Structure 1
Amino acid sequence: MPRVHVCSLQRIGPTVAQTGASHLVTLINVGTPVERPGSIPEDRHLFLGFNDILEPTEGMIAPAEEHVLALLDFVERWKADKPIVVHCFAGISRSTAAAFITVCALRPERDEADIAARIRASSPSATPNLRLIGFADEILGRRGRMVRAVEAIGRGRDAFEGHPFALDLDERSPAAP
């Protein structure tokens, strides 16, 4: 079953090892050291460097359309025969947005509200970055449904680090890591 696994920076190694992931997506501040697990070839690791902010802020890199386009290009080349791991610093905002975007892009027939609800059921702290979601919603032609779905689940519980979780591409039930 193809799965999108979400975790924090600290849990990359164990998550990749436990899942047998073939691809890795990093969404983190530029300059943050990220050690790519040896089992992930360099060409199967996407590094997107930007800050976890919702509005452009001086001295910071805001999530941009180009980041979403790079993510979409990368996940469309993923064969989904083995899991993919998506992470950010805490596994709460940028990575949960990227997981949501990935499922919406690869399974356009799936309902956005259902996917968002599965994220909430799997991760009480998940707070997908709405700026990323907004760009993806427009690019994917979802007519505001992605944004509304994430707004409907609301901000997650405060946490320093999110608990790793997974989303199945094809099933409508939460998946354990």
Structure 2
Amino acid sequence: MGTIVVAPLEKIAELAVRHGCREMLSLVAPKQDFHRPAVIDASRHLILGVNDIAFAATGDLVAPGEEHVAAIIGFAAGWNRASPLLVHCMMGVSRSPAAALIAALAVHPDQDERALAARLRRASPQATPNARLVEIGDRLLCRGGRLVAAVREIGRGADYAGDSPFSFPALPEDSRP
């Protein structure tokens, strides 16, 4: 089973405690300074230093790459799903929703991409998954373009209206054991 909680950076401690999260995936700008919530074990915290860009990086920016997405997939594969997985970025709108989709497919590869993207949209009207992360995730998870198409189908999220953390099941309700 498993629930994925998606949050902005400033809400991670509150949400980790409220949801009982024990594992966390952080997608933050390189050298971003923040404190891991005490309820998250350091051994189950993956920090990826990537900027929220959808193009090849220039200058000091770090674009999400295959190594970042492979790390998300590997981390998700080790998630025991006994407690929710907390995924965050700076605002909880682009990098973290994309990583949440990738994590959900990594742990439940038989699910339909369109249904997954629709669950994400119902959970968050403002989520706009990072296109570069989605594209690389689609390729590394051998989705044949279906994840990219599903995310395009839900479209850009609503304009940012402030911190709106959300959660959604990694597997659809009707597929749970």
Query: Which of the five TM-score ranges fits, normalised by the shorter chain?
Result: over 0.9
* SS of alignment partner, residue 128 of structure 1: coil
How far has the Cα of 1:160 moved from its partner?
A: 5.4
Deviation by residue 1:112-165 (Cα, 9 ceiling, x = unmatched): 001101111111110000100111111111000000000111111111544111
1:26, 1:88 within 8 Å by CA — same for their partners in 2? Answer: yes
Alignment match, 1:89: 90
Alignment match, 1:164: 165
Alignment match, 1:119: 120
- 2:71 is the alignment partner of 1:66: no
Any runs of at least 4 consecutive aligned residues in structure 1 with deviations exceeding 4 A, and if so which?
none
Alignment match, 1:10: 10
Q: Using the alignment, how far apart are the partners of 2:153 and 2:21 within structure 1?
A: 30
TM-score, normalised with respect to structure 2: 0.94
1:113, 1:146 within 8 Å by CA — same for their partners in 2? Answer: yes
Root-mean-square deviation over aligned CA pairs: 1.3
1:90, 1:160 within 8 Å by CA — same for their partners in 2? Answer: no
Aligned amino acid, residue 39 of structure 1? V
How far has the Cα of 1:94 moved from its partner?
A: 0.2
How far has the Cα of 1:169 moved from its partner?
A: 2.1
How far has the Cα of 1:170 moved from its partner?
A: 2.6
Alignment match, 2:34: 34
Q: Using the alignment, how far apart are the partners of 2:56 and 2:171 within structure 1?
A: 35
Q: Using the alignment, how far apart are the partners of 2:163 and 2:97 within structure 1?
A: 10
Gaps of 5+ in 1: none
Q: Using the alignment, how far apart are the partners of 1:169 and 1:94 within structure 2?
A: 17
Deviation by residue 1:29-88 (Cα, 9 ceiling, x = unmatched): 012112101111111110000100010131110010000001111111111111110000
- State how many pairs are aligned: 173
How far has the Cα of 1:2 moved from its partner?
A: 1.5
Q: Using the alignment, how far apart are the partners of 1:160 and 1:54 within structure 2?
A: 22
1:125, 1:162 within 8 Å by CA — same for their partners in 2? Answer: no
Change (3 A) 1:123 1:81: same
TM-score, normalised with respect to structure 1: 0.94
Gaps of 5+ in 2: none
Deviation by residue 1:77-110 (Cα, 9 ceiling, x = unmatched): 1111111100000000000001111111111111
1:91, 1:161 within 8 Å by CA — same for their partners in 2? Answer: no
